[in-house]
Amino acid sequence: MNNFLWALKFLTIIPIDREDRIKPKDFGYVAYWFPVAGLCIGVFLFIAYLPLYFFFPPLINNALILLAYIAITGAMHLDGLADTADGIWGGWNKERRLEIMKDSRIGSFGAIGLICLIGLKYVSLLSIGEISATKISPFGVSIKCVFCFVSPVLINKCVALVIMPVVGRWAQVCAAGLSTYARNESGTGSFITVGTTQKQVIYASLFPACLFWFFYNLSGLVIFAIIIIFTLCWIWYIKKKIGGMTGDTLGATNEITELVFLLSLLLLN
């Protein structure tokens, strides 16, 4: 369980190991647990959303659940998104882009990127209504009788909140396993990128694929295929700009892929 606990500690602010005793021997095994850690975050969001749904109007509860999501992750991936936006679009060559990304100050591209992403996530969550989970799927069949007592809007929103963090953490594994580390010196993303291989990417993909099929049936697999295609294109783009991945670009991959999931969900349902 050390690998799972380390992954959960790394991806959240949950005080699992205050004395820092958990040390994974091989990060390749930790990568398997990234999507599972994402599921734990999703369950937290599901539990947190229930009282918000009953006590606040949609405009407020969707904003509050996004704040809860940012809080549980320590805004780590949003920070990576801002640094990536500043570096990728603010620099004119690889060296300059990496230098900008290392700067702790936020620039105009980073601020614009954060505003656009959080805004689009908010609007996407707000737009999820009576869709998806009501379709024929193992989940839809088993939950059908519950629709008499609980709004489908609540169920569909909770399903999206559970799967969204899984998708983001899977995308990190995919980006790390299909890339090299862009910097010459070690950094936050170096041990993730170096320790993850294509084998981990394949096995880590099975878990989200099963979740998509269970909750959304064949349309879920189509959504996952869209996410895979986007992630591969994003990896290619980042490698073209800086030659590989860093901790910042892994965080940006997480955030953008989650947005692609929400948009794909709305597009196909």
DSSP string of 224-252, one letter each residue: HHHHHHHHHHHHHHHHHHHSSB-HHHHHH
Tokens of 256: 């953008």
* pLDDT surpassing 90 at residue 194: no
Residue 169's pLDDT is what?
95
Spatial separation of the C-alpha atoms in residues 182 and 245, rounded to whole Å: 5
101-158 tens-digit pLDDT: 988 888 899 999 999 999 999 999 988 865 555 455 666 656 655 555 667 778 888 8
Largest CA distance in the chain: 59
Looking at the predicted structure, is the pLDDT value of residue 58 above 70? Answer: yes
Give the separation between CA 46 and CA 154, rounded to whole angstroms: 10
Instruction: Give the mean pLDDT of the chain.
Output: 86
| Number of domains the chain is built from | 1
- Spatial neighbors of 263 by CB under 8 A, at least 6 apart, are 120, 124
Q: Which two tokens stand for residue 46?
A: 């599901």
- Count the Cβ atoms, other than its own, within 10 Å of residue 47: 12
Q: Give the domain extent around 111.
A: 2-268
The residue among 127, 230, 241 whose CA lies nearest residue 182 is 241
